Structure 1
Amino acid sequence: MLELTTNYDWTPSVARRLRVIDEFYVDAASVREFGLRCQFERHLSGSGVASNSLQRHPDAKTTYFRLAHIISSQKQPDWDSVESSFRFWGIPSSGAYALSLEGDRDTVHFHRRTGRWAGVCYLSTPEICNGRKGVIFYRHRETQLESFVGADSNTISMLRSQGADPSKWEEIGYVPMQFNRVALFDARHFHAASPGFGTSTASGRLTQLFGIDFLEDLSERPS
């Protein structure tokens, strides 16, 4: 794992819940090529506007456990829920790809019920990644919250409703985009993907996504 370099003096709440791993895949080019061959579909649910792949990489389970081990070597990853969701919905929640093109903009959001930890691997080519932001973290201006942890249900509803209003949020940090870099973070923190670019799968913002939970944490999920 490499030291994170940004233009920000990271707040402790975010910094201690963030890992950045460069040169994550041994053969990142083949992982990208698989993504280029995927079928993408824009889903109506969720906070973002990216298109998501209907397929997941064949090594998704192995990668899921690898990322989970980086977070904690003591806890048991909840892969069974990932599989059950995939079988029921037909849409992969881990190991799938996301594609954002020019004009696509994410909203500030957080993960409350699934995927307490999020993993994002940047797979746009190096020359495309250069100088761009990856995942961006935010503080809510009115409440000064950086995550929903400890917030009551009314506050959480308010935070969700304001996710698409940039005036309500202050940017506090970001992970620079780099080919074959993974950003692994506590997804209860307020975050958004950087804006899309390009006009095709090959020239657009291509990432591979993982939502990671641990069996020991399931009792803390909201009902």
Structure 2
Amino acid sequence: MDGINASVSRHLGLALKGADKTEHGRCRMTLKADKGRSGVHIDPAFYSGILYLSRPEDCARPGAGGTDFFRHKRTGLERVPANGAELAASGYADLDTLVGDVVNKDTTQAGKWERVMRVPMRFNRLVLFSPWQFHNAAPGFGTDAESARLVMLLFFGRAAG
């Protein structure tokens, strides 16, 4: 993990570490038949990353699960506002209320979201993005550990210094 943390820090020009109380560096396998417990969400981090580890031949299958990004239909938001002006424009008085009413309330309500982009899965591709963007894993695939969607989850916090 030290090598991944150092490489991402170098590429972004920021001192980063694994975010506290996250699954930074953990791998997740998802079969086609698996159903996730959450839906569209945000992450408790400074930066989020997904490293795709599935075999190239499995990534090449039609619809192979990359990462999806969404717009919340009712509010038109694609992410949690980044500053006070954006928050005021959203019509919410504070971030906690917005997150509760938009993300937490609608996370598993597919009809409340519109997919705006899918980053395709490619072996060894690292996708870095703002954790405040509304996102979710694309559907899993495969029938066993060899053919399943396999990713490494990365949640970065700022390192001291």
TM over 0.5: yes
* 2:112 aligned to which of 162, 168, 172: 168
Aligned to 2:124: 180
State how 1:104-123 maps to structure 2 within 5 Å. 104-106=34-36, 107-111=39-43, 114-123=44-53
TM-score (norm. length: structure 1) = 0.59
1:67 shift after superposition:
1.4
1:215 shift after superposition:
4.2
TM-score (norm. length: structure 2) = 0.80
1:63 shift after superposition:
0.5
Distance 1:188 1:122 in 2: 20
State the percentage of identical aligned residues: 30
**Cα distance change of structure 1 residues 140 and 161 upon mapping to structure 2, 3 Å threshold:** same
Structure 2: state its 5+ residue gaps: 82-86
CA RMSD of aligned residues (A): 1.9
CA contact (8 A) 2:70 2:114 kept: yes
CA contact (8 A) 1:99 1:207 kept: yes
Structure 1: state its 5+ residue gaps: 1-59, 86-91, 217-223
Aligned to 1:137: 69
Higher relative contact order (CA 8 A, sep 6+): 2
* 1:95 aligned to which of 25, 48, 54: 25
Distance 1:201 1:68 in 2: 31
Q: Which amino acid aligns with 1:214?
A: R
In the alignment, structure 1 residue 67 sits paired with structure 2 residue 8: yes
SS at match of 1:213: strand
CA contact (8 A) 2:65 2:149 kept: no
Aligned to 2:57: 127
Q: Which amino acid aligns with 1:115?
A: A
CA contact (8 A) 1:64 1:95 kept: no
Distance 1:65 1:94 in 2: 14
Q: Which amino acid aligns with 1:186?
A: S
The size of the alignment, in residue pairs, is: 144
Distance 2:145 2:11 in 1: 29
1:126 shift after superposition:
0.9
Q: Which amino acid aligns with 2:29?
A: L
Aligned to 1:7: none
CA contact (8 A) 2:51 2:127 kept: yes
Distance 2:151 2:17 in 1: 22
